Structure 1
């Protein structure tokens, strides 16, 4: 039996801490018709879905968290419990579709069954239909989820942008600490293996730990964007041409992630102003997950992420200056060892007996969190358009859960010629979520148009690999 790591289990504990939270990640595939009959869908996707081992397994937990949860085969597995169908209300436009998606994502996955669902959504305009896939975050991070969902397509995983990511230095699987048992010899051996594996970056990691602790101990400026969440969600989408993003990357010597965060910054600034609030330097501390997944573990089903905690410069009114500041702050955060600190911390917690980490995490997730205001995660998707059951996927849209006082979150996904932003928001806190999505699109368009004027250097070097550098977030 496979045990959950501390990081995997933390998503269960965070969900348990708030009855209004569902920590499932999602992907919405909008597909050109004609829609298959439901029995045809079950037959067509059934083999692909059941071919994913984790989709046939259920969580086995222990009383009082005396041991880490385990994945065990579900002897009563029934595919039709997980494959479901729904329909949007007329006229079947994006507004109706996104309203239904938000409602379906609000619902928690049933822990008595494997932690996933796949919804066939009918009634879309232009003869289209959709598949909404939900997977609990304890199963996989963004990159692992992207790889899992790619297996449902006719093309599989061969055309993903993931293969172009240069991995962050991290522990290899042979050095990765396993869940500690109450055997001191095992514990000492794992501590020694981990210390040898990370010793090269230990000094920088310690500096990063201090940075992260300092960031999490300083409350962000109080705005309507942070606070308790309700049980209802809103969802909206921004789509921008990848050619515009690449143009900005090449023109200013930045990454796709820099451009994405700059566009989010500009839209959040507008959102604060709409609310009658003054955007300040400490208004928008953002959690940016960063992959520490080595390329030889792209198919591993688990969470392998670290994090950065930059403030997005919503106090700046000029979009180009926002881009400059974001690049400087991300460069500084990376060089400070924040990435290594997160990875080292996760590795270290796996060496501690599970009851200690579980009880600590449960206590922490019940405390009010005031330092992080939003989350923005960037996941590489398919380089080319994909198909499902011989039908082309015209849109592939990411969906991110929100929790722990974070009322909005943005999932960013590259799909063929587009960069797509999926915005999840608390229903009561963000009635303007569609305006927020439109603001992202305007921000990218403005940055692209600004490249026509020869830009000033924003980095020590303008060298950008062909096709622009890909973000490495998960």
Structure 2
């Protein structure tokens, strides 16, 4: 039997802290062509899903949290409880599809059964159909979830952008595989190097811990973007060409994540102005999850993330200045130890007796935090378009959850030649998620225009 680690179990505790939230993540695949034969489709999807980890397992909890929850086989498993069909009313456009998706995602998964659902959605405009996969966040983080979603395709996955994340590029300790050096004179140097490395890492993590704690405990500017949420959701989506994003990256010597967060910055600035609020330097502290998943752990179903908590510069009006500021702040956050602090904290929590960590997480998640305003998570997706039952998956939209008083959350997914921003908002207080999506697309377009002008200036 496998137990949940502290972070996995934390998503259950966070969900329990607020009856209005559901901490499931979703992937909406829009597929070209007509829906396959009903029986063949159900059989094909069922066969692929049953191969996924956790698809036939339920959580078993223990009284008084004496031990962490553990995965056990569901002896009464019936796939009919998990695969559903629905048909959209006409015209079957994006607005109708996203409204239905929001209704599915806002409902909690039944913990007496395996924590996933799959919806086959018919009636989309232009003769298309869709698959909506919904999985509880306690099972996996964004990268592992996307790996599972890709496993439903005809290709069974394939090449993706996961190898471009920082954790995948870093060298991992291979000390266990080194040959033993029998020269005693070399041992002193080895011990000295290991001690120095451990000390510098500990100091970096300590500095990062101070910054993370300050970000979580220090309230930001008063904003309608943060506060209690209802049990209903709104969903929208922005799509931009990866070629345009890469052009911006080359022109300004920044990363894809910098461009995505700069576009989000500009759109949130417009949202604050639209709501009659003054964008300030401390208006948009953002939770940016950072993967610590190594390449050989892509297919392991669990959560392996740390975090950064930068302020996005909504106080700045010029798009280029926003981009450069985002780049500087993320560069500083990456070197400040915030990422290392999260990793160390999670590692430490995993060796503390579970009753204590469960109590602490439960207490913390019930506190009305005022420091973090929104979530922006970047998920690397497949490099090439996938196919399901011989039909091409033309679009994939990531669906993030919202919790802990965050009224909006954005998941950024690279799929084939697109960068897709899936936006989840509280139904009552984030009424302008469509405007937020349009603002992201407009911000990227302005940066492309700036990049083109820079190229022309250099060329002239």
Q: Shorter-chain-normalised TM-score: which range?
A: over 0.9
CA contact 2:217–2:369 (8 Å) conserved in 1: no
Aligned partners of 1:155 and 1:167: how far apart in 2? 25
Query: Which structure 2 residues correspond to residues 135-174 of structure 1 after superposition, within 5 A?
Result: 135-167=135-167
Aligned partners of 1:97 and 1:442: how far apart in 2? 23
CA contact 1:171–1:198 (8 Å) conserved in 2: no
The farther-off stretch of 303-312 and 44-53 is 44-53
CA contact 2:120–2:132 (8 Å) conserved in 1: yes
Q: 1:253 to 1:156 in 2, by over 3 A?
A: same
Aligned partners of 2:61 and 2:173: how far apart in 1? 27
Secondary structure at 2:167 match in 1: coil
Aligned partners of 2:244 and 2:260: how far apart in 1? 11
Aligned partners of 1:402 and 1:171: how far apart in 2? 33
Secondary structure at 2:236 match in 1: strand
Quote the offset at 1:432 in angstroms. 1.2
For 2:84, the equivalent position in structure 1 comes to 84
Quote the offset at 1:48 in angstroms. 1.1
Aligned partners of 1:172 and 1:108: how far apart in 2? 40
Task: Encode CA deviations 1:11-63: one digit per residue, 9 max, x unaligned.
Answer: 00000000000000000000012102332222111121111131111000001
Aligned partners of 1:302 and 1:9: how far apart in 2? 10
Aligned partners of 1:264 and 1:326: how far apart in 2? 10
For 2:435, the equivalent position in structure 1 comes to 435
For 2:13, the equivalent position in structure 1 comes to 13
Q: 1:430 to 1:408 in 2, by over 3 A?
A: same
Task: Encode CA deviations 1:343-367: one digit per residue, 9 max, x unaligned.
Answer: 0000000010000000111111111
CA contact 1:378–1:412 (8 Å) conserved in 2: yes
CA contact 2:31–2:130 (8 Å) conserved in 1: yes
Task: Encode CA deviations 1:288-324: one digit per residue, 9 max, x unaligned.
Answer: 0000001111111100000000000000000000001
Quote the offset at 1:430 in angstroms. 1.4
Aligned partners of 1:135 and 1:55: how far apart in 2? 10
TM-score by length of 1: 0.89
Quote the offset at 1:139 in angstroms. 0.3
Aligned partners of 2:297 and 2:128: how far apart in 1? 35
The farther-off stretch of 15-24 and 73-82 is 73-82
Greater radius of gyration (CA): 2
Query: Which structure 2 residues correspond to residues 123-142 of structure 1 after superposition, within 5 A?
Result: 123-142=123-142
For 1:458, the equivalent position in structure 2 comes to none
CA contact 1:221–1:280 (8 Å) conserved in 2: yes
For 2:345, the equivalent position in structure 1 comes to 345
Aligned partners of 2:445 and 2:243: how far apart in 1? 11
Q: 1:197 to 1:26 in 2, by over 3 A?
A: farther
Aligned partners of 2:201 and 2:366: how far apart in 1? 32
Q: 1:203 to 1:170 in 2, by over 3 A?
A: farther
Aligned partners of 1:345 and 1:198: how far apart in 2? 15
Q: 1:229 to 1:320 in 2, by over 3 A?
A: same
Aligned partners of 1:24 and 1:50: how far apart in 2? 19
For 1:466, the equivalent position in structure 2 comes to none
1:39 and 2:39 equivalent?
yes
Aligned partners of 1:199 and 1:14: how far apart in 2? 33
TM-score by length of 2: 0.92
Task: Encode CA deviations 1:215-272: one digit per residue, 9 max, x unaligned.
Answer: 1121011111000010000000000011110000000000000000000000000000
Quote the offset at 1:166 in angstroms. 4.1
Secondary structure at 2:27 match in 1: strand
CA contact 1:235–1:433 (8 Å) conserved in 2: yes
For 1:362, the equivalent position in structure 2 comes to 362
Query: Which structure 2 residues correspond to residues 41-120 of structure 1 after superposition, within 5 A?
Result: 41-120=41-120
CA contact 2:384–2:415 (8 Å) conserved in 1: yes
Quote the offset at 1:105 in angstroms. 0.3
CA contact 1:170–1:293 (8 Å) conserved in 2: no
Aligned partners of 1:68 and 1:244: how far apart in 2? 46
For 1:336, the equivalent position in structure 2 comes to 336
Q: How many residues align?
A: 436
1:262 and 2:284 equivalent?
no
For 2:185, the equivalent position in structure 1 comes to none
Secondary structure at 1:100 match in 2: helix
Aligned partners of 1:236 and 1:209: how far apart in 2? 34
The farther-off stretch of 156-165 and 443-452 is 156-165
